[in-house]
A and B are shown apart, each in its own frame.
Chain A
Amino acid sequence: MFALEFPPINELIRWRDLFTSFNKISIIACLAAFVSMLLFFLASRKDPLVAPTGSRNLAERSVEFIERDIVMQTMGKDGMGWTPFLLSLFLFIYFCNLPGIIPILQMPATARMAIPLFLALVVWVIYNAVGFRHNGFKYIGAMVWPKSVPVGMRPLVGAIEFLSNIVLRPFSLAVRLFANMLAGHMLLVTFAFLSNAMFTAQTKQMFLRPMGVLPLFMLIFLTAFEVLVGFLQAYIFTILTAVFINSARHIEH
């Protein structure tokens, strides 16, 4: 019998502390923040009046991406003040996702619940604060008694809206990011283990070894796919944040 043993999930996603209360996820989170800051620091040192290249080009493209494809699409020109927050959010999530395919690191920090949960809570606090700031207590009133729906439907829609805004949104925001990145990480690990096991199988079934190429190809494909997923999840989290903030500002709509 040929047996393949996968390690427990905790061995794949939990890391021993490097020193007290500091593990691999913490390193990746700190690196994500550092790389983002380094990118913008290097960009800010270059002459802005000449055509941007290198780090300056990357930084400006990311600013324009946030402004044009997220802020303008969801909040309009009034939302330009949110660009630094949304930019920080996008870069942080993206650089936390990216280590999932970087050798040695090989773990997206967002495949652990802590960072998605923290970011979702920050977003939750912010959009509710924005809602109260722009609408006062009408924010809650318009949420639980929406005037844009027929009177008979208002209790039901109001309850759904309240539940959605206050409970489900941060939860779904965090779980979407966490689950996608965890699933991607597990897929990569699975195909890597499978490929390795088939290449090194101690068996007389010689067809098994060359068949190890199949999971290897799948591993390569999924690695490329994870680049897209990492970017996409950062984009989705950021654009949903912008949508939530904007909907909190205009709760009557």
Chain B
Amino acid sequence: MHTVAVVMTREGRLHVSLSGTPISGDTTDEPMVAMASTEATAEVAAKDPSPIAPEVKELVWGGGAFIVLFVVMRVYLFPRVRKGMDARYNKIRGSHESATALRSSARADVTTYEGQLAGVRSEAKTVIDAARQTLEAERTAAVAKVNASIAVDRASAMSANEAARVAASGDVRDAVAAVSTHAAELASGHRPDASKVQGIVDSLISGGAR
């Protein structure tokens, strides 16, 4: 069975021991040496100052080092670094402000441009409307003019057509009357009155046309 023993000596020396195990020859002597050493140093250790008590030389050097650091930092180093930081912050802030101003200016320019664009568009619309109206009026006038010309041409053509029809109708009647007269002459052996035949033909054609 193994046992572990921890022993604190008066001067703060700590012994940790593990027993009950098969061991090498060397280690058996060590505790005795250590104990002898402990006994020998007990007198010296008793005179050692407390490990908690502050040492004057450490107090002086540590305090001096801190005071030097604080003075140099307060008087020289910190103001320089802080000044540099402030300069950069101001530069960044200035750049930021100028960027903001530039953005505002750009926005104003855009607004002006959009206003001008709207004016131009309105003006263009007016011009386009006027042009459209002009074109419409011109188109209407041209159409009317063409229609009038067409009407004249149509009337002329119709009158020419009517004249041709009348002429053709007269020719047809004359031809029919001549044929009828000749047919009657062949059938009866004497020539009928041409005016009567003409009258009969006219009445028949007129009746047929009805």
> Closest residue to B21 on the A side, CB-wise?
A205
How far is B26's CA from A41's CA once the two chains are assembled, in angstroms?
57
> In the complex the two chains form, is A8's CB within 8 Å of B66's CB?
no
> In the complex the two chains form, is B19's CB within 8 Å of A1's CB?
yes
> In the complex the two chains form, is B23's CB within 8 Å of A33's CB?
no
> In the complex the two chains form, is B82's CB within 8 Å of A88's CB?
no
B193 at the interface (CB under 8 A from A): no
Dominant SS at the A interface?
Answer: helix
> Closest residue to A113 on the B side, CB-wise?
B54
> Closest residue to B24 on the A side, CB-wise?
A202
Q: Which B123-151 residues have a C-beta within 8 angstroms of A?
A: none
A169 at the interface (CB under 8 A from B): no
The answer to whether A25 and B16 touch (CB under 8 A), given A1-B27, A113-B53, is no
> In the complex the two chains form, is B74's CB within 8 Å of A30's CB?
no
How far is B60's CA from A17's CA once the two chains are assembled, in angstroms?
14
> In the complex the two chains form, is B77's CB within 8 Å of A112's CB?
no
The answer to whether A119 and B81 touch (CB under 8 A), given A1-B19, A114-B55, is no
> In the complex the two chains form, is A48's CB within 8 Å of B84's CB?
yes
The answer to whether A48 and B87 touch (CB under 8 A), given A3-B34, A37-B72, A41-B77, is yes
Q: Which B42-67 residues have a C-beta within 8 angstroms of A?
A: 45, 48-49, 51-63, 65-66
How far is B64's CA from A92's CA once the two chains are assembled, in angstroms?
12
- Nearest-neighbour CB distance to chain B for A113, whole angstroms, equals 4
Interface string of A110-153 (1 = CB under 8 A from B): 00111101110010000000000000000000000000000000
> In the complex the two chains form, is A118's CB within 8 Å of B59's CB?
yes
Dominant SS at the B interface?
Answer: helix
Tally A-B pairs: CB < 8 A. Answer: 191
Mark the stretch among B7-15, B109-117, B160-168 that contacts chain A: B7-15
Contacts of A56 in B (CB 8 A): 81, 84
Interface string of B65-94 (1 = CB under 8 A from A): 110111011100110111111011001000
Mark the stretch among A79-87, A219-227, A231-239, A243-251 that contacts chain B: A79-87
> Closest residue to B30 on the A side, CB-wise?
A3
Q: How many residues of B contact A (CB 8 A)?
A: 55
> In the complex the two chains form, is B81's CB within 8 Å of A44's CB?
yes
Contacts of B60 in A (CB 8 A): 21
- Nearest-neighbour CB distance to chain A for B108, whole angstroms, equals 31
The answer to whether A91 and B27 touch (CB under 8 A), given A7-B13, A14-B51, A25-B61, is no
B18 at the interface (CB under 8 A from A): yes
B22 at the interface (CB under 8 A from A): yes
How far is B65's CA from A118's CA once the two chains are assembled, in angstroms?
11
> In the complex the two chains form, is B54's CB within 8 Å of A59's CB?
no
16 CB < 8 A contacts A-B: A2-B21, A9-B51, A21-B60, A23-B57, A26-B61, A29-B58, A29-B61, A59-B81, A88-B69, A88-B70, A92-B65, A96-B62, A114-B59, A118-B59, A122-B63, A204-B22
User: Which 9 residue pairs spanning A and B have beta carbons closest together?
Assistant: A48-B84, A114-B58, A26-B61, A115-B62, A40-B77, A114-B54, A6-B14, A33-B65, A33-B69
